[in-house]
Amino acid sequence: MPLLRQVVHQSMTENVRMALDTLRTNKLRSALTLLSISVAVTTLIAVVAMLMGLDQSIQESIQSYGTNTAFFSHLPSGPRFGRLSKEERQRKPLDYDDFLAVREFCKSCANVTVSLFNGQLNWARNKGEEVSGLDFRGTTADFFSVYANAVVTQGRGFTESENEHRVPIVVIGEDLAKGLFPNINPIGKDILISGQHFEVLGVFQKPKGGLGGPDNSDTRAVVPYWTFRKMYPQAKEHGIRIEAFAGQLDVAIDQSRVALRRTRKVAYDKPDDFDFQTSASLIESFHSIVGMVALAVIVIASVGLMIGGIGVMNIMLVSVTERTREIGIRKAIGARRQDIIWQFLVEAMVLAATGGLAGVGVGYAISTTVHALVPTLPTYVPLWAVVVGVSVATSTGLFFGMYPAVKAARLDPVVALRWE
């Protein structure tokens, strides 16, 4: 048995060496043949790298809101395709009374807060500095407890007393603070937000993940609810976020739904006229989108691999024709059919695997370049993607190299020796 394994090993090593010699001898032809396989694997690696990095970033960002929380709004708040239905377009927004009902009825809620938005493209200005695209809202003091990413690192958050007295104060995001106050401490300074004056009370720590404002920046501007309501009396868009006690999120959601259905007078036989999302449901929705993108990539890569496989088969058929006399000599000195088959199969697999390795290298280079050019777009190449890319490329060579290998093995040695 040890002798047999040694013979098999030597035979395989010789086949690989012969395959590499063939690649070196026909560089241009081999490169053209490998192009489609390389492009397919490059596409696979590059897209997987960006999707994996984006997935990790999105999960961190969503979970930064709090894994034991849920957000209620009158319209679907998660990712979706297509237009809103007629029923969704006719829904009335949530209001402050809805918030009060949830806060009173939800016994499994540790905290409940409400956010009010003005539905405008908001901006902030300080002297010559201006930042647009703010996450601008009015909310209660419980905001700083309910939102896990509402960590104030400079100054402080506002109190419920300041909310009730409509004090014009604001807590701003880290990037917004750097943009408006590049070299000074912003605490106590005055800023202009969409035409209204506020005093900076605190600065949020920038949350992890990739769901920030423009360029993934932390451009939050959070003011007391009643201050916001006084300055924007026409604002109607409310959102309610609940924080459940440990292990009671599902119960808290049910209790909140009952409270909202009652206050919004939804008939018992009618569906909810509002929507809610949890961190888990948002991640699941994002994964469904990633799955569709991955399916499209698989289809594109499969087409490339099929074209590359046909190229491998063609070059192997040409190789069989060119080496007919060599095949005849090998058979004349005792080579068996399986020896000839394995010779050409190994050559086809090495040819395809080389294309796969080249695709992995180019795909990794593309993902690294993209991350360097766009730092907010993370990339990550998992080991399984590399293994899958090379394995699929090698399998393509095995499949499409079978016919040329069998054809070579079936050659009559007498006829082959006469070939010129």
pLDDT band at 299, cuts 50/70/90? confident
Higher pLDDT, 5 or 305: 305
pLDDT band at 5, cuts 50/70/90? very low
Q: Is the pTM of this model over 0.85?
A: no
Measured distance between the N- and C-terminal CA atoms of the chain, rounded to whole angstroms: 41
Taking a C-beta distance cutoff of 8 angstroms, is the pair 181, 131 a contact?
no
pLDDT at 344 over 90: no
- pLDDT value of position 12: 61
- pLDDT value of position 8: 40
pLDDT at 130 over 60: yes
Mean pLDDT of 274-302: 82
Cβ neighbours of residue 299 closer than 8 Å, sequence gap 6 or more:
none
**pLDDT tens across 353-371, in order?**
888 898 899 988 998 888 8
**pLDDT tens across 169-185, in order?**
999 999 999 999 988 99
Mean pLDDT of 266-289: 84
Mean pLDDT of 101-119: 94
Mean pLDDT of 125-135: 90
pLDDT at 3 over 60: no
Q: How many CA atoms lie within 13 A of 283 on its CB side?
A: 18
- pLDDT value of position 6: 40
- pLDDT value of position 37: 84
